[in-house]
């Protein structure tokens, strides 16, 4: 069955920060997370790209990396990242399939050393979405559709105010999501989301 890249009308981010009601979405829980600072809901959406090995798509390697089970002997590149403990809240595959690794209420380890508008430690107040891809190839239409849907659901649940790239919060250190990413398209999705109701 092909992965769905469209949110159903019943899709939402539930009270525990998990995506529900999205056809074909999976949970692969990563140990690489911790608690957000008290009273710090996510307000920033950070877009990344990832491919393992670099510029190769498909396979289980990204999931293994986020689960700390990546075998360093499987590829020369994997030996260079052995022991790395990272995660993201979501991964969007090339076919638009969505995998969630960390509750959006928790702090995933995706941003690293980072700063945005004078605030350091962007992991504290951000949600990280990885797109399976690289700086060197365009993303797929299915990925944009999934990302747009996720952005709308997240903005309906959290007080998200901006969407940025990893390169924006870690300039000179990171380049993703890269030059092929269509910013205008996905920012419209975040801006069109209904406002978050006060709790």
Q: Mark out the alpha helices in the chain (DSSP H runs).
A: 61-66, 76-80, 141-157, 166-169, 183-191
CA atoms within 13 A on the CB side of 112: 13
Active site residues: 130
**Residue 12 C-alpha from the chain's centroid:** 16
Residue pair 83/122 in contact by the 8 Å Cβ criterion: no
What DSSP line would sit under 26-54, residue for residue?
EE---S-EEEPPTT----EEEEEEE-SST
């Amino acid at each position: 069955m092909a992965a769905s890249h469209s949110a159903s009308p019943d899709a939402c981010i539930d009270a525990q920060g998990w995506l529900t009601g999205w056809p074909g979405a999976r949970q692969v829980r990563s140990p690489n997370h911790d608690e957000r600072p008290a009273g710090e809901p996510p307000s920033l959406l950070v877009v990344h790209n990832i491919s393992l090995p670099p510029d190769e798509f498909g396979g289980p390697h990204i999931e293994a990396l986020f689960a700390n089970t990546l075998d360093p002997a499987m590829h020369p590149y994997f030996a260079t990242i052995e022991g790395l403990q990272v995660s993201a809240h979501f991964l969007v595959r090339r076919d638009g399939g969505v995998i969630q690794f960390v509750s959006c209420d928790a702090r995933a380890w995706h941003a690293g050393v980072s700063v945005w508008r004078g605030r350091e430690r962007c992991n504290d107040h951000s949600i990280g979405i990885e797109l399976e891809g690289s700086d060197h190839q365009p993303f797929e239409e299915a990925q944009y559709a999934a990302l747009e849907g996720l952005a709308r659901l997240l903005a309906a649940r959290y007080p998200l105010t901006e969407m940025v790239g990893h390169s924006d919060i870690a300039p000179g250190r990171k380049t993703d999501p890269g030059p092929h990413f269509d910013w205008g398209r996905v920012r419209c999705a975040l801006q069109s989301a209904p406002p978050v109701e006060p709790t």
